[in-house]
């Protein structure tokens, strides 16, 4: 079976390479206003997100409450608790940063587009996937900062919880609300130009990734991360995904939900949003020099989950033929 490499994953790799060779463009001293562009871009991403949200589909999806609890429980409880189990093993500041990066990954919401695409490919419950992926992003606006607030202040002395939520309200919540209010006027426009808006979203994400990694490279933050550390992070990402994936399957079987719902639970409940991750990293961690390391497990997880779930989805798509 031929597995295509996701073009966005390749774009991320290219962006990191550009940040490595040309870090000066993304530093505080640079004349290029990347911070301003990305801040405006973040607000536009969530404005368009509000335009594309369907209140009718969200209301219809409320009925399948067992599946919803499983997906959201996996996303916002199981993942963070799995990572919390390893906190007692931290022995130094470098390990603290890497652990915080994994916890940030664990606290993030699910992602909409790839979740729905993979569920569709595997012949799962598509309406439930749309509902859960959409509602996860909304819940994450509140839950992710709450989880991170328990530990970020240990690594960042100027962490201001009130200021964080003010940024979230201004840059994310208000644009989503505005998008919902204008949906009746601009909703069809957003649907017609969905592919172009997705390209815009990815462009802003790549800009934030460039900014994060350029500062880390400029300040030699990655000099403390050896090849063995990088390998350990990758193994940790694989372990976290595998445990979460099969725990979700186990719980779905215990709840006695059907195969289509089980697929949706596993695919949506184990996804983590790169969009929210890059946006939240900018808001939660500001100009911390180590923000590149904070994003590293998330980007490895993003690439890994796309590859593995693509393979699983392709196999599940053939189950009717096999049976």
Please answer whether residues 216 and 224 qualify as being in contact, where contact means their C-beta atoms are separated by less than 8 angstroms. Answer: no
Cβ atoms within 10 Å, residue 236: 20
Confidence bin at 10 (pLDDT 50/70/90): confident
Tens-digit pLDDT profile for residues 164-207:
667 767 777 788 789 888 988 888 888 888 888 878 878 887 88
Please answer whether residues 285 and 215 qualify as being in contact, where contact means their C-beta atoms are separated by less than 8 angstroms. Answer: no
Give the range among 11-15, 205-209, 298-302 with minimum mean pLDDT: 205-209
Nearest Cα to 209, choosing from 134, 124, 117, 294?
A: 294
Q: At which residue do the structure tokens 């390479």 appear?
A: 17
Structure tokens at 166: 């003010």
Looking at residues 128-153, what average pLDDT do you find? 83
Tens-digit pLDDT profile for residues 42-99:
788 878 878 877 677 666 656 788 899 999 999 999 999 999 999 998 888 788 888 9
| Residue 173: DSSP 8-state | I
pLDDT of amino acid 79: 97
pLDDT of amino acid 320: 57
| Separation between Cα atoms, residue 298 and residue 268, nearest integer Å | 16
Tens-digit pLDDT profile for residues 147-156:
988 887 654 5
- Number of H helices and E strands in the chain, helices first, is 18, 0
Cβ atoms within 10 Å, residue 256: 9
288 pLDDT more than 90: no
**Cα separation values, 93 from 89, 99, 296, Å:** 12, 10, 17
Burial status of residue 248 (CB atoms within 10 A of its CB: 0-12, 13-18, 19 or more): buried
Please answer whether residues 78 and 247 qualify as being in contact, where contact means their C-beta atoms are separated by less than 8 angstroms. Answer: yes
Please answer whether residues 198 and 113 qualify as being in contact, where contact means their C-beta atoms are separated by less than 8 angstroms. Answer: yes
Confidence bin at 125 (pLDDT 50/70/90): confident
pLDDT of amino acid 77: 96
280 pLDDT more than 70: yes
Nearest Cα to 27, choosing from 234, 214, 276, 303?
A: 214
| Separation between Cα atoms, residue 247 and residue 238, nearest integer Å | 14
Structure tokens at 155: 């690594």
Confidence bin at 321 (pLDDT 50/70/90): very low
Domain boundaries, the chain: 7-25+32-316
Looking at residues 310-318, what average pLDDT do you find? 77
15 pLDDT more than 80: yes
Architecture of the 7-25+32-316 domain: Up-down Bundle (1.20)
262 pLDDT more than 70: yes
Q: Which carries the bigger pLDDT value, residue 170 or residue 103?
A: 103
The mean pLDDT value of the chain amounts to 81
Cβ atoms within 10 Å, residue 322: 6
Tens-digit pLDDT profile for residues 24-45:
887 777 788 887 888 888 788 8
| Residue 112: DSSP 8-state | S
DSSP for 181-227?
HTHHHHHHHHHHTHHHHHHHHHHHHHHHHHHHHHHHHHTTGGGG--H
Tens-digit pLDDT profile for residues 211-231:
877 877 777 766 667 778 888
């Amino acid at each position: 079976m031929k597995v295509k490499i996701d073009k966005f994953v390749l774009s991320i790799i290219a962006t990191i390479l550009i940040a490595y060779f040309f870090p000066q463009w993304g530093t505080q001293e640079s004349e290029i206003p990347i911070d301003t562009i990305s801040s405006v871009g973040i607000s536009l991403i969530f404005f368009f997100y509000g335009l594309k949200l369907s209140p009718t589909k969200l209301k219809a999806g409320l009925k399948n409450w067992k599946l919803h609890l499983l997906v959201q429980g996996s996303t916002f409880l199981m993942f963070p608790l799995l990572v919390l189990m390893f906190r007692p093993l931290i022995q130094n500041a470098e390990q603290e940063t890497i652990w915080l990066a994994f916890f940030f990954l664990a606290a993030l919401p699910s992602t909409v587009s790839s979740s729905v695409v993979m569920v569709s490919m595997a012949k799962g419950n598509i309406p439930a996937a749309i509902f859960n992926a959409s509602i996860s992003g909304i819940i994450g606006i509140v839950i992710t900062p709450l989880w991170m607030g328990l530990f970020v202040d240990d690594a960042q002395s100027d962490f201001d919880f009130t200021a964080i939520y003010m940024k979230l309200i201004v840059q994310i919540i208000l644009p989503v609300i505005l998008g919902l209010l204008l949906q009746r006027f601009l909703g069809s426009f957003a649907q017609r130009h969905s592919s172009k808006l997705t390209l815009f979203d990815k462009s802003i994400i790549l800009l934030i990734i460039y900014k994060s990694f350029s500062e880390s490279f400029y300040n030699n933050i990655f000099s403390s991360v050896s090849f063995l550390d990088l390998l350990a992070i990758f193994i940790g990402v694989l372990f976290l995904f595998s445990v979460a994936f099969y725990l979700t399957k186990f719980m779905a079987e215990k709840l006695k939900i059907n195969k289509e719902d089980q697929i949706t639970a596993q695919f949506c409940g184990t996804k983590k949003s790169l969009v929210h991750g890059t946006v939240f990293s900018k808001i939660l961690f500001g100009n911390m020099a180590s923000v590149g390391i904070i994003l590293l497990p998330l980007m490895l997880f993003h690439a890994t989950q796309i590859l593995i779930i693509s393979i699983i989805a392709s196999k599940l798509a053939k189950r009717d033929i096999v049976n």
